[in-house]
């Protein structure tokens, strides 16, 4: 064997050792999710992992009051999507504590029950992505694109601050990207802001940009990519009391109607607001004082 052959053999052996070391250091490929395991999952971008949720924390649709119109619109849109028909991405925006995220989860449960196949878990899956993980949306879309199930990707309390550029990832996924949104995926988000940006941020864009109109359009065009804008507004006194009465009846809390109304209004006054969340917090306090267990605690709105 010539000297050149020996040197070449050493180089090959060295490269093989380096390649082996790199393979050992590399993270294992992400496991293919088994969507039959659950009806809901949480997306973890590290490792591109979907963690199954054994029991979704949701409130029964019958307990969501004062939002009849937006409830019907969202359910109809979700039903169309579950049937494979055209449907829109939805932005649920408005007052705090009025049931935006609860409605998304309740609509998924209602439609999934109607379209359930083969027992416990239906073909419509709910996937929650956290606000801070929005930049990983393209990875999630790649994972879901090849699946046979249909998915609602849900982000709660979605908003963006002045220096945040992750909204561009969301824009590309919703519409306009080369691949676009997969046919089997729809995106639902909740926010306290209609345009997902704080007002002072938009006003600052107007005051500092060379072309103020174009700068603001860049930000506002994100919310335009949601085909459905469903507004949630502060409830009236009658709606608030209906929520309280609905909870009390659902859990069998023994209190007369007059006392219930009086103490519920006093509770709202001390909180300085009326909403589904305030109604539920009052009912928790009332049940505790009367020593009534809340067997199936609904989601805090």
pLDDT of amino acid 118: 45
CA distance 146 to 141: 9
CA–CA separation, 217 vs 229, rounded Å? 17
Q: What whole-number distance in Å separates Cα of residue 44 and Cα of residue 149?
A: 19
Question: Is there a contact between 93 and 232 (Cβ–Cβ < 8 Å)?
Answer: yes
* CA 251 – CA 288 distance, rounded (Å): 12
Q: At what angle do helices 257-271 and 237-250 cross, to 10 degrees?
A: 120
Per-residue pLDDT tens digits for 153-195: 999 988 777 666 666 777 777 765 566 788 999 999 998 877 6
Q: What is the pLDDT of residue 95?
A: 86
Angle in degrees, CA 69, 105, 76, rounded to 5: 40
pLDDT digits (tens, 9 = 90+) for 230-263: 999 888 999 999 999 999 999 999 999 999 999 9
The model's pLDDT over 88-115, given as tens digits with 9 standing for 90+, comes to 999 999 888 889 999 999 999 999 888 7
Residues in the chain: 301
Which tokens go with 237? 């006194």
HSE-CB for 198 with a 13 A CA cutoff: 8
Ordered DSSP codes for 32-56: PP-GGG-SEEEEETTTTEEEE-SS-
Fold of 35-232: Rossmann fold (3.40.50)
Q: What's the average model confidence in pLDDT over 258-280?
A: 93
pTM (2 decimals)? 0.77
Domain ranges of the chain: 35-232, 237-289
Give the pLDDT mean for 132-136. Answer: 89
CA distances (Å), origin 106, targets 40, 44, 65, 221: 12, 23, 12, 29
Segment 219-230 shows an average pLDDT of: 77
Distance of CA 36 to the CA centre of its chain: 20
Residue 282 burial (CB count, 10 A): 24
Cα(92)–Cα(225) distance, rounded to whole angstroms? 13
Q: What is the average per-residue pLDDT within 117-127? A: 68
Give the burial string for 203-220 (b: 16+ CB within 10 Å, else e).
eebeeeeeeeeebbeebe
Burial of 187 (0-12, 13-18, 19+ CB in 10 A): buried
């Amino acid at each position: 064997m010539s000297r050149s052959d020996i040197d070449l053999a050493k180089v090959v052996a060295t490269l093989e050792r380096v390649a082996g070391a790199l393979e050992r250091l590399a993270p294992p490929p992400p496991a293919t999710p088994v969507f039959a395991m659950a009806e809901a999952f949480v997306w973890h971008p590290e490792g591109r992992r979907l963690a199954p949720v054994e029991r979704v924390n949701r409130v029964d649709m019958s307990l969501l009051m004062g939002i009849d119109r937006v409830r019907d619109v969202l359910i109809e849109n979700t039903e169309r999507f579950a049937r494979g028909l055209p449907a829109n991405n939805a932005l649920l925006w408005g007052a705090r504590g009025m049931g935006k995220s609860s409605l998304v989860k309740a609509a998924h449960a209602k439609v999934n029950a109607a379209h359930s196949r083969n027992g416990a878990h239906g073909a419509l899956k709910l996937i929650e992505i956290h606000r801070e993980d929005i930049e990983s949306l393209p990875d999630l879309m790649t994972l879901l694109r090849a699946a046979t199930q249909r998915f609602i990707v849900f982000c709660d309390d979605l908003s963006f601050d002045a220096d945040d550029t992750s909204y561009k990832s969301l824009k590309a996924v919703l519409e306009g990207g080369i691949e676009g949104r997969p046919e089997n995926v729809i995106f639902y988000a909740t926010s306290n802001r209609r345009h997902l940006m704080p007002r002072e941020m938009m006003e600052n864009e107007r005051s500092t940009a060379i072309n103020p109109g174009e700068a603001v359009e860049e930000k506002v065009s994100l919310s335009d990519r949601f085909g459905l804008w469903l507004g949630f507004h502060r409830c009236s006194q009658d709606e608030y009391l209906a929520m309280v009465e609905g909870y009390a009846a659902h859990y069998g809390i023994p209190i007369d109607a007059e006392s219930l109304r009086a103490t519920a209004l006093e509770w709202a006054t001390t909180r300085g607001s009326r909403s589904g969340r305030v109604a539920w917090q009052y009912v928790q306090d009332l049940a505790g004082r009367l020593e009534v267990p809340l067997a199936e605690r609904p989601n805090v709105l």
